Amino acid sequence: MSRGAPSPPFALRVPEGDNREREVCESCGFVNYVNPKVVVGAVIAHENRILLCRRAIHPRKGFWTIPAGYMEERETTEHGARREAQEEALAGIEIDAMLAVYNIPRISQVQVIYRARLVRPDFGPGPESLEARLFAWDEIPWADLAFPSVHWALGHFREVIGKSEFSVRGNPPGATGDY
């Protein structure tokens, strides 16, 4: 399609063989499937401390989070979690287990969170972070955490400290990730 050409006409309708409304091109029948986004990240430990980043971007700019973000095409969830740790905290990590899978249907997200450790104690704020810091458990800025799922991940991490085998956690009962 040439630059400036009109977009094909899309209409909401139930495509043949489907059971819900989708955007369907009136010209060619192309179905524009809009699917949930996958977020990947890790709770990263170093010497009984947790690595958190203070967000430099919206949403929740200025609040603390674990290094996490959207998965890119053609990467595994583990690769994405390592990439996000590097991008947000300039940190090399070693993943040892999947910690949790959270469902946030309000914003069409699935979050895959790993348990990891710093490879070296070298880290700092990446372009999406105002600062990166290691916190002892009692120093974590609980009131200033960016998202409910960060609270969940930190709590689930604490539940499995010292365990080599555990079941992957999920949303706490009744929790949807709404603020």
Report the C-alpha gap between 133 and 120 in whole angstroms.
Answer: 14
Q: DSSP of 9-43, one letter per residue?
A: PEEEE--TT-SS-EEEETTT--EE---PEEEEEEE
| CATH, domain 37-159, list 3.10.20.30, 3.60.15.10, 3.40.50.300, 3.90.79.10 | 3.90.79.10
DSSP state of 92: -
- Domain extents for the chain? 37-159
Is the predicted pLDDT of residue 94 greater than 80, yes or no?
Answer: yes
Prediction pTM value: 0.89
pLDDT band at 55 (very low <50, low <70, confident <90, very high): very high
Report the C-alpha gap between 167 and 150 in whole angstroms.
Answer: 18
